[in-house]
Copies of this chain bind each other. A is one copy, B any other.
């Protein structure tokens, strides 16, 4: 069933949707059918909002997250703690930390992670902007909040090296590892238990 055999334009639209992350041919064809019939208003808003946002979106000059404002709302917020910067991989990670309401400092978004095979090192992730901020702003601590995956750990390791070399008295920390909320110890993997034991307090 995949794409529309009876109409080329609709088929092209279905293919575009099917290529988006998390969607396949079936969900794409359902989405297109709804957008073209019962949800034409949503479809019109989608066209308009997407083209407007595409035209105005850019990276925040201070933290590199995606924004349509001259400076993102976190960076523009005078009430944020200027002494600490949290380094994350993506804008979605920034959102997740903001949603926890546990952190009141600034951010720096790498927009990726170190990938030696694609020649993505700390420079390609905009580390120079971060070092410039460390020179100009009263930053005491950098929290490295990259993923606990091999690539995320490598990124954290390289980044910590660059930061320590640039400013030896800087405090470089990593988010605590341990057991997530709502889990039973019995069903937790060994690596998580090991890090929870090591970090006990």
Spell out A's residues near B (CB within 8 Å).
Answer: 1-10, 12-13, 16-17, 19-23, 27, 29-31, 33-37, 40, 42-47, 49-54, 56-57, 65-69, 72-74, 90-92, 94-96, 98-99, 111
Chain B residues within 8 Å of A95, by CB: 1-6, 29
Known: A30-B22, A31-B20. A7 touches B99 (CB 8 A): no
* Minimal Cβ-Cβ distance residue in B for A15: B49
Per the bound structure, the CA–CA distance linking A27 and B27 in Å amounts to 13
Complex contact A66–B40 (CB within 8 A):
no
Can you give 11 contacting A-B residue pairs, CB < 8 Å?
A: A2-B99, A5-B95, A10-B66, A10-B68, A16-B45, A21-B27, A37-B66, A37-B111, A43-B50, A44-B51, A47-B51
Majority SS at the chain A contact face? helix
The answer to whether A92 and B34 touch (CB under 8 A), given A1-B99, A23-B22, A46-B50, is no
Which chain B residues border A29 with CB–CB below 8 Å? 92, 95
Give CA–CA (A96, B159) in the complex, Å: 52
Copies in the complex: 2
Chain B contacts for A31, CB-based, 8 A: 20-23
Among A2, A57, A68, residue most surrounded by chain B Cβ atoms (within 10 Å): A57
- The closest CB in chain B to the CB of A75 belongs to B6
Report the separation of the CA atoms of residues A42 and B12 in the bound assembly, to the nearest whole angstrom: 12
Complex contacts, A19 vs chain B, CB 8 Å: 42
> How many Å from the CB of A8 to the closest CB on chain B?
8
Q: Which residue of B lies closest to A44 (CB)?
A: B54
Minimal beta-carbon separation of A145 from chain B (angstroms): 13
Known: A21-B27, A30-B22, A34-B21. A10 touches B53 (CB 8 A): yes
